[in-house]
Structure 1
Amino acid sequence: MTLSPTPRPLVVLDCDSTTIQDEVIELLADAAGTREQVTEVTERAMRGELDFAESLRERVATLAGVPESVFEETYRRVRPTPGIHELVAEVHARGGKVGVVSGGFHEVLDPLAQDLHLDYWRANRLEVADGKLTGRLTGPIIDAQAKADALREWAAAEGIHWGSTVAIGDGANDLKMMEVAALSVGFNAKPVVTDFADVAIEDDLRRAIPLLDRLLETP
């Protein structure tokens, strides 16, 4: 009997409160003195009560005037989620790829991607002028549809079959990419995500590693 080869997985994660323990917009808001205002809007958006793009613009507007040195300062405060290094290593050991797609910001995700040895990453960009944040975004907004599109794009680029795709997230903005993945995993997720996901896990991303074996069952 010839055994089927182990599938090469593509695992795509949300960033804030999934790949990392923090919400980067809230860390940035600390520098602007708007943390409380931003946190309330973030929570409503994560529960699906607000349009993501609208809520993002509202939160980013509070950052106007903050010096761009805030990016380096913020990255030093970022805490990778327990188990993320092990999950990335396991996916790579299986010949697969790991991507992070974020409603947060490239200015913090870029160094994180290097440190975690990610294969793909995508996020929003903050506009800077004269060394300070303008309170506006530049380029396309990475919303729920953009997250789903990224998963499809990266799978196609790697020649990875749909049946070997995994999406991991925690908020309403992750639902569309979870819908298109073969396996959807809620991580410390909001109720709307836990109810939708194929599997819900908490606290440690190493708990996602055994789930990769489920991909073996997909034709």
Structure 2
Amino acid sequence: MTSPKEISPGLVIQRFTPPLALADFRLIAFDMDSTLINIECVDEIAAAAGRKEEVAAITEAAMRGEIADYKASLRQRVALLKGVSVQHLQDVYANRLQLNPGADRLVAACQAAGMKVLLVSGGFTFFTDRIRDRLGIDFTRSNVLAVEDGKLTGKMVDQPWGDICDGDEKRRMLLETCERMGISPRQAIAMGDGANDLPMMGEAGLSAAYHAKPKVREQAMVAINSGGLDRLLEVLR
């Protein structure tokens, strides 16, 4: 292990790795909110309920690792969304959500190299399903918002794999996907920005922090602190 080294402005190698190629990997796993996309969806949904500031403060604390119980924090935030219409979610997707710079290019490069793509999120299927279809992503895992009469109930729906996709579930999904593909986790890349991404990043052969919280930058093998997601290609030949 060596000291962190900035190999070009805003791109830091936190831990020494030998020269790597995309061909060394078979899977890339992305967090969604603030990693693959530009927003925290739960915060933008909360805007319709007049609770964005309150919800965003909880989100920020959770992503910084200052809230130990991610599930409880998400339940708390979702409860504040009660009564928001599903149409508002569509408005968030259409008018607020954008792919982060370089997302298209990085995903396309990985797919061209024969890699599968996993989107694993503490966010919601309303958005992950649309991003999956937009980018041709192979696997997803995220949370389902409960809806009645076209409005959010303030709760989430349990799924066959469990109740909430938190950090532990992200890790399990990464390992489960690797097992399904017949590969080692060392053949996976994991990219994220928040504390709930650290469990899956710790299993991957290459972990990359994207414009991440300090705790995540410190533990990742590569930290992209400026520029787009495709800057990862600068360390993958």
> Which of 152, 158, 165 is matched with 1:142 structurally?
165
RMSD between superposed Cα atoms in Å: 1.4
Does the Cα contact within 8 Å between 1:155 and 1:162 map onto a contact in 2? yes
Mapped to 1, the partners of 2:122 and 2:80 lie a distance apart of 16
Q: What letter is aligned with 1:62?
A: L
3-state DSSP of counterpart to 1:20: coil
Counterpart residue number, 2:111: 92
1:116 maps to 2:135? yes
Distance in 2 of aligned mates of 1:6 and 1:136: 42
How far off is 1:9 after superposition? Answer: 2.4
Name the counterpart of 1:70: 88
Amino acid at match of 1:211: V
Shift of 1:160: 2.8
Runs of 4+ in 1 over 3 A off after TM superposition: 5-8, 210-213
**Does residue 205 of structure 1 match 2:229?**
yes
Aligned runs of 1:30-109 on 2, under 5 Å? 30-50=47-67, 51-76=69-94, 77-109=96-128
Aligned to 2:19: none
In the alignment, is the contact (CA less than 8 A) between 1:8 and 1:160 conserved in 2?
no
Using the TM superposition, give the Cα deviation of residue 181 of structure 1 relative to its aligned residue in structure 2, in angstroms. Answer: 0.6
Q: How far apart, in 2, do the equivalents of 1:210 and 1:152 lie?
A: 26
Q: Give the structure 2 partner of residue 217 of structure 1.
A: none
More helix by share: 1
Alignment of 1:185-196 (within 5 A): 185-196=208-219
Q: Cα distance 1:186–1:8, how it changes in 2: closer, same or farther (>3 A)?
A: closer
Once the two structures are TM-superposed, the CA of residue 126 in structure 1 deviates from its matched residue by 0.6
Whether the 8 Å contact between 2:26 and 2:187 is mirrored in structure 1 is yes
* Aligned 8 A contact 2:64 2:195 in 1: yes
Q: From 123, 126, 130, give the equivalent of 2:145.
A: 126
CA distance change for structure 1 residues 159 and 212 in 2, over 3 Å: closer, same or farther?
Answer: farther
Q: Match for 1:160: what amino acid?
A: I
1:165 aligns with 2:183: no
Q: Deviations over 1:151-209 (max 9, x none)?
A: 11111222233222111001100010011111111110101001111110133011112
In the other structure, the counterpart of 2:27 is 10
Superposed, 1:176-191 pairs within 5 Å as: 176-191=199-214
SS at 2:55 equivalent? helix
Listed one character per residue, the Cα deviations across residues 100-126 of structure 1 (whole Å, up to 9, x for unaligned) are: 100000011111111111111111111
Gaps of 5+ in 1: 214-219
Specify the SS of the correspondent of 1:209.
helix
Give the gaps of 5 or more residues in structure 2.
Answer: 1-21
> 2 CA distance for matches of 1:118 and 1:206?
16
2:186 and 2:203 in contact (8 A); partners too: no
Aligned length: 209
Structure-1 separation of matches of 2:126 and 2:185: 30
Distance in 1, Cα, partners of 2:142 & 2:190? 16
Q: CA deviation at 1:129?
A: 1.2
Distance 1:9 1:209, change over 3 A: farther
- Tell me if 1:21 matches 2:44: no
CA contact 2:65–2:196 (8 Å) conserved in 1: yes
